[in-house]
Structure formats: structure tokens, C-alpha cells
A and B are shown apart, each in its own frame.
Chain A
Amino acid sequence: MFNKESDTSDTSTRQSRIAPSLERMADWPWWLIVAILIGLIIVFQIVTNQRMSNIFAAISTGIGITLRVTFSAYIIAVVIGLFVGLARVSKNRVIFNIASFYVEVVRGVPILVLLMYIAFVAVPLIAEMLGARTRDFPNELRVVLGLAIAYGAFESEIFRAGIQSIEKGQMEAARAVGMSYFQAMRHIILPQAIRRVLPALGNDFVAMLKDSSLVSVLGVEDITQITKLYAASTFLFFQSYSILAFIYLTMTILLSRLIRTLETRLSIHNR
């Protein structure tokens, strides 16, 4: 923006001397400065303003549940993803087709719909089969299951792509030494593939944190649900939702930083 102005009005020497510093300012990460400023304002408000600190105190009681849902669903999703990813590169047509059915169906349905389907259709069905009551399955368990099944499909595609990105010669060399298919997968292919897909897996972890807000529609008291209830009862919509967004943003930024640090550390230690 500054840049353009100085270019078009580049007539006097005085202006052209100013131009370089303006140009440098144009390269500043203004978005970050603005974001940090807004963040500081919110923090300042929370600290100084009694009403804001009340809201923050109320909402932050849900952070535990948000993190618990995120972590447990993500871990299950990665495990599902690993096995389904392996199934998707399998030469066994039955295994391949079952895995593909799962992946294509789940990827084609919105996560929200899938969550409701699992919570209101699948779990009651399973409960009935087991001879248990639906309410024996707590809501949190259902949403964790739902998120895990949804993300399992995404993670499986990441694993599949990672496995297929490893040169064919690696499998051949492993087999030629005498390894079985599974030994080769475990010791040769997967260690390389996982290292390659680590950034993508990390991205999905952050995405899972954000999508964990969907569990609020099922009444699980994560930070979104608490905010919803709090705002509705106090009519402090602006303040409540600003703080909610602020909490999510802080968590996602910290989490991506953490993941990036882990990635660099891994790439240093292992080639």
C-alpha cells in the first residue's frame, strides 16, 4: 500500500529518500501486529475488567474437556488412519475395498452430520445389540468416537500417500534381504513414510482442536458449549465469543509452534 503511493509520486528527491523505509514497513507482518494488539487488548480486559474476567473464568473451565476430546479423538484417529492406510495399499482386494468404502463414505459426509449419526444412530444401535442402554454411553465418548472415525479417514489418506511416496526400490531391497511384507513395512517403509507425513499429521492435530468445537451440538461441555450457554444467559455475546475465539487462537498457535519444534527436532536427529 505504502509502496504503491511512493512509486506513483516519486518526483522529488526528498520523497525517494523516504521511500525505502516506507517500503520496508510495507513488508512488516501487519496482520500479526494487529492480531497481537487485539490479543493484548483482550488480555488487558480480562485482567482489569471484572465482567470479562468472570466470562474468561467460566469458559476456561471447559478447556480441560476440549483438550481431552481433542487428544483422545486424535490418537484414536491416527491409529485408525495407520491401519486403514495400510489396508488401502494392500494387494488384498477384500481388505482394500472395505477400507476404501470407509474412507470414501466418511470423507463424503460433513463431520457434524457424522457426529450426530454416530451419537444418535450408531451408538444406540450398538447399545441395543450389546443389551445395554444408550445412556450408558456418555456423550463425550460418543463424540470422541465420532471425531476419531471422521479424522481416521483423513489420516488414512495421509498415511497412504506417505507409504506410496516411498520409492519402490525400498520395498524390493527389503524383500530381497528376506524380509516379509510386514517386516519391510514396519522396519523400512513406515519409518520413512511417517517422517514424511509428520507435517500433515501435525496440521490435522490443529484442525482436530478446532473441530472439537462441533461436540457442543451434542451438549458436551467444551469451551464452545459453555460459551454458548453463558452468552445466552447473560446476553454478553460480543464479550463471550471474543474470549472464546481468543482462547482457540491461543491454543492453535501454541500447538502449531510446538509441532513445528518437534518436527525440526526429528529431522535433525534422523535423516
Chain B
Amino acid sequence: MNNSTNSSDEIIVIRNLVKKFHSLHAVDDVSLTVGAGKVVVIIGPSGSGKSTVLRCINHLEVPTSGEILVNGVKLTHNSHDINAVRAEAGMVFQEFNLFPHMSVLENVMAGPLIVKGMQREKAREIAESNLARVGLLFKKDEYPNKISGGQKQRVAIARALAMEPKVMLFDEPTSALDPELIGEVLEVMKGLAKDGMTMLIVSHEMSFAREVANEIIFMDHGKIVESGPPEELFERPREARTRQFIGQILR
């Protein structure tokens, strides 16, 4: 959508990320990069640390060690940097987490209004254009409890987009949805990919991953087991563990 003036084409760089919960290594020495305009999908069994990697990127989890750069800004404990990074990285949660006391439009306006201190009219414009982008402008005056799960997740995507992020992080965006509602969310995400949005997605939607991803990363026990382009990883996985997982999930 907006042409990035950033000269570096690596939007996310993670080097040797480690996250420990007490003695458990949730993420164990993970390194990855996401280039501008690329779509990277992380797959793996539950508890493999996929979501934790995602949550470390905008500091919802504090990394134990390692280095994370988002759009060239290094993530430190400094709260100023953290807020800067969060504004660059839109996040979509499994449970949507819409603000129930605000209308759909207000949900999407909240970021521009509160974080950027934007004028109300300008914020409304941005919110409406992003709601139109996810096809929900006609629901703008509804409250979150009046719309379906799929619509909620599309509003959540619009809310993240309203901050005009450099990258979108999706944490199992369709896992809490009824099967018949998954499609509409994936369609929106495909649209974003087509528009050149950089995305890092944790998902179990294999056909979606195969269609949209530039790269698939397979994680298990906090480590990256294998990564590569989708056709390679799905058709000719090198590791036995990957083969086993893909065999199970495609059955």
C-alpha cells in the first residue's frame, strides 16, 4: 500500500532469540529474517514456541536474550523504543481482543486517536478506509458483541492496519473461528499479501500457507527445525520431524 522509504529491505531481523519461562525454554536460539513485502508463515505443533517468537517481536513477552530489530530499530527495554516498534508492527490475536466498549469504528480509530494524537476527522477517515479494506464499513456503528467471529477478526485486522504498520504479525488468526468463518479472514489476509504487506503469520492453515507464503518456518520445541519455500517444505521436507508433522496435519 504505502511505498516504504526505508532503504533496508529486512523488516524483521531476529538473532539468537531465547525466551525462558522459569526453566522451560519456550524459544531456544531462534534466528530469522522477514524481508520487505514477504509473507512468512511459522508452523509447528502447539507449545513449539511459535506464538512466543511473535509476541517477543513487539515485546508482549520480554526476551531472555538475543536481538530483535524491527524496521532497523533495535528492541531494548527502553519503553520509548518499545512503543516505536509496536507502532511499526500491527498485531492480530487469536482471540481478536476487540475493545467491547467501543463501536467497530471507534475500535479502529483508537490507535490513531490515542497513540498518534490525530484529529478526530482524520482518524475517522483512516478508520473508514481500513474498514472498507476488510469489507466491513457497513458494520462501523455496531458493537463487537453484535458481529460474527470472522467479522471481529477482520475488524481487528483493520484496527492494526489503521496504525499504518510496516509489518503485520498474526498469532493464529483463525484458530478461534468456526470453520465456515475462516475463509473470509484468510481472504482479507491474501488481499494484504497481494498489496505487498510484510507479514509474519503463525497458522495451521496449510493450504493458505502454501498459496500465500514466500517462506515456511517449521518450529518444534522452541527451535527452528527447517525452513524454506512452501513447495519445498511441503513436498520435499528434509527433516524427519517435519515430514512427520506435515504428514499428520495434511491427513
Query: In the assembled complex, which residues on chain B have CB atoms less than 8 Å from the CB atom of A167?
Result: 95, 97
Query: B46: CB under 8 A from chain A?
Result: no
Contact with B along A165-204 (1 / 0, CB 8 A): 0010110111111111001000110011001000000000
The distance from the CB of A182 to the nearest CB of chain B, in whole angstroms, is 11
Query: A14: CB under 8 A from chain B?
Result: no
Measured in the bound complex, the distance between the Cα atoms of B144 and A192 in whole Å is 14
Query: B101: CB under 8 A from chain A?
Result: yes
Query: A261: CB under 8 A from chain B?
Result: no
The distance from the CB of B129 to the nearest CB of chain A, in whole angstroms, is 17
Query: In the assembled complex, which residues on chain B have CB atoms less than 8 Å from the CB atom of A178?
Result: 83, 86-87, 111, 115, 163
Q: Is the CB of B101 within 8 A of A195?
A: yes
Number of A-B contacts (CB under 8 A): 65
Q: Decide if the interface of chain A is mainly helix, strand, loop or mixed.
A: helix
Query: In the assembled complex, which residues on chain B have CB atoms less than 8 Å from the CB atom of A233?
Result: none
Query: B191: CB under 8 A from chain A?
Result: no
Q: Is the CB of B145 within 8 A of A176?
A: no
Q: Is the CB of A177 within 8 A of B115?
A: yes
Query: A24: CB under 8 A from chain B?
Result: no
Query: B157: CB under 8 A from chain A?
Result: no
Query: B159: CB under 8 A from chain A?
Result: yes
Q: Is the CB of A180 within 8 A of B83?
A: yes
Measured in the bound complex, the distance between the Cα atoms of B99 and A48 in whole Å is 59
Query: A92: CB under 8 A from chain B?
Result: no
Query: B79: CB under 8 A from chain A?
Result: yes
Name, among A169, A177, A187, the residue most crowded by chain B CB atoms within 10 Å (CB to CB). Answer: A177
Measured in the bound complex, the distance between the Cα atoms of B156 and A180 in whole Å is 19
Measured in the bound complex, the distance between the Cα atoms of B98 and A170 in whole Å is 7
How many residues on chain B are close to A (CB under 8 Å)? 26
Q: Is the CB of A271 within 8 A of B115?
A: no
Q: Is the CB of B97 within 8 A of A170?
A: yes
Query: B219: CB under 8 A from chain A?
Result: no
The distance from the CB of A169 to the nearest CB of chain B, in whole angstroms, is 4
Q: Is the CB of A176 within 8 A of B101?
A: no
Query: B132: CB under 8 A from chain A?
Result: no
Residue of B nearest to A188 (CB): B99
Query: A270: CB under 8 A from chain B?
Result: yes
Query: In the assembled complex, which residues on chain B have CB atoms less than 8 Å from the CB atom of A179?
Result: 110-111, 114-115
Measured in the bound complex, the distance between the Cα atoms of B83 and A170 in whole Å is 17
Contact with A along B147-169 (1 / 0, CB 8 A): 00000000010011001000000
Query: In the assembled complex, which residues on chain B have CB atoms less than 8 Å from the CB atom of A175?
Result: 58, 60, 86
Q: B101: which of A172, A180, A192 is its contact (CB, 8 Å)? A: A192
With A169-B97, A270-B101 as contacts: A176 and B58 at CB distance below 8 Å: yes
Query: B143: CB under 8 A from chain A?
Result: yes
Measured in the bound complex, the distance between the Cα atoms of B58 and A174 in whole Å is 12
Measured in the bound complex, the distance between the Cα atoms of B86 and A114 in whole Å is 47
Query: B47: CB under 8 A from chain A?
Result: no
Query: In the assembled complex, which residues on chain B have CB atoms less than 8 Å from the CB atom of A180?
Result: 79, 83
Query: B100: CB under 8 A from chain A?
Result: yes
Q: Is the CB of A187 within 8 A of B97?
A: no
Measured in the bound complex, the distance between the Cα atoms of B110 and A173 in whole Å is 11
Q: Is the CB of B99 within 8 A of A170?
A: yes
Contact with B along A64-102 (1 / 0, CB 8 A): 000000000000000000000000000000000000000
Q: What are 30 A-B residue pairs whose CB atoms fall within 8 Å in the complex?
A: A167-B97, A169-B93, A169-B97, A170-B97, A170-B99, A173-B93, A173-B97, A173-B156, A174-B110, A175-B60, A175-B86, A176-B58, A176-B60, A176-B91, A176-B160, A177-B86, A177-B160, A177-B163, A178-B86, A179-B111, A179-B114, A179-B115, A180-B83, A183-B115, A188-B99, A192-B99, A192-B101, A195-B101, A270-B101, A271-B101
Residues of A within 8 A of B (CB): 167, 169-170, 172-180, 183, 187-188, 191-192, 195, 270-271
A172-B97, A174-B110, A178-B87 given; 10 more Cβ-contact pairs under 8 Å: A167-B95, A169-B97, A173-B97, A174-B99, A176-B90, A176-B91, A178-B86, A178-B115, A178-B163, A271-B145
Residues of B within 8 A of A (CB): 58, 60, 79, 83, 86-87, 89-91, 93, 95, 97-101, 110-111, 114-115, 143, 145, 156, 159-160, 163
